[in-house]
Structure 1
Amino acid sequence: MEFNTLIPELSVKDIQKSKIFYLDVLGFQLNYERIEDQFAFISLNDAQMMIEQCNGHWQTGELEYPYGRGINFQIEIDNIEVLLQKLKEHNILLFRDLMINSYSEFTQKEFIVQDPDGYLLRFCQSY
């Protein structure tokens, strides 16, 4: 496995709840985990991230919901409609509904959802 040059690591309140959300709902793959450290390395297509239950090692201040204020993670996927349907089946509300945005040379369908800890995930599909 090759590692991206930037891989965010998210502190989460409940690793099991986060794993269910990322793996079962969003379709991420579990690449490896350290169960004793409550840590998981996950990926979806070329997007890679780490999730680790809060342990104080990386904490620069008090964590309050929603975590990750001021940041959102864009993740490009092949079929945005399939993921939207899966979220609907799990009764997960979107933070921002599906929209179409045009950038200088391409157009994307995208929406934003919050994970269990409030991190914003912006899924997009270029066309």
Structure 2
Amino acid sequence: MKFNSLRPILWTDQFEETIEFYTDILGFELGEKNEDWGWASVSRDNVELMFAKPNQHTVFIKPNFTGSFYINVQNVDEIWESLKSDVKICYELETFEWGMREFAIYDNNGFILQFGQEI
């Protein structure tokens, strides 16, 4: 058995704002968007995310994800410099004893996005 990929679906009541945050601030590309379904997908390199408006089948508490999304990157310093003045920072760029250089931000929904590079 093989798992091929993971594509999280983030629920948001700020559908358009979320698409704009990921495309305009983080540089993702909009793949698909279906207004009738309240669903969209974005990607950048090998990272894919989907967004969905809450519907009658879901109990929506914002944000209801208790972890973070960790994105492995190349040149974390460059990404930090390009983002730090345009986003809400969770923690600044730092090198950790476990061999990662990383930082974390909040997206427009309050989800934590960590960006890290192995050193």
User: TM-score normalised to the size of structure 2?
Assistant: 0.83
Query: Structure 1 residue 72 and structure 2 residue 68: aligned?
Result: yes
Match of 1:48 in 2: 48
Identity over aligned pairs, percent: 26
1:87 pairs with 2:83: yes
Which letter does structure 2 place at the counterpart of 1:119?
A: F
* Contact 1:4/1:48 (<8 A) preserved: no
Measured on the aligned residues, the alpha-carbon RMSD in Å equals 2.1
The whole-number CA distance in structure 2 between the counterparts of 1:117 and 1:75 is 17
**1:123 Cα deviation after fit:** 0.9
Of the structure 1 ranges 38-47 and 114-123, higher mean CA displacement relative to structure 2 is found in: 38-47
Matched position secondary structure for 2:36: helix
| Structure 1: runs of 5+ lacking an equivalent | none
- Measured in 1, the distance between the counterparts of 2:60 and 2:38 equals 20
Q: Measured at CA, do residues 68 and 44 of structure 1 come closer, stay the same or move farther in structure 2, by a change above 3 Å? A: farther
Shift of residue 72, structure 1, vs aligned partner: 0.5
TM-score, length-scaled by structure 1: 0.78
Q: Which residue of 2 aligns with 1:33?
A: 33
Return the alpha-carbon distance in structure 2 between the equivalents of residues 21 and 4 of structure 1: 27
Q: How many residues align?
A: 117
Unaligned runs of 5+ in 2: none
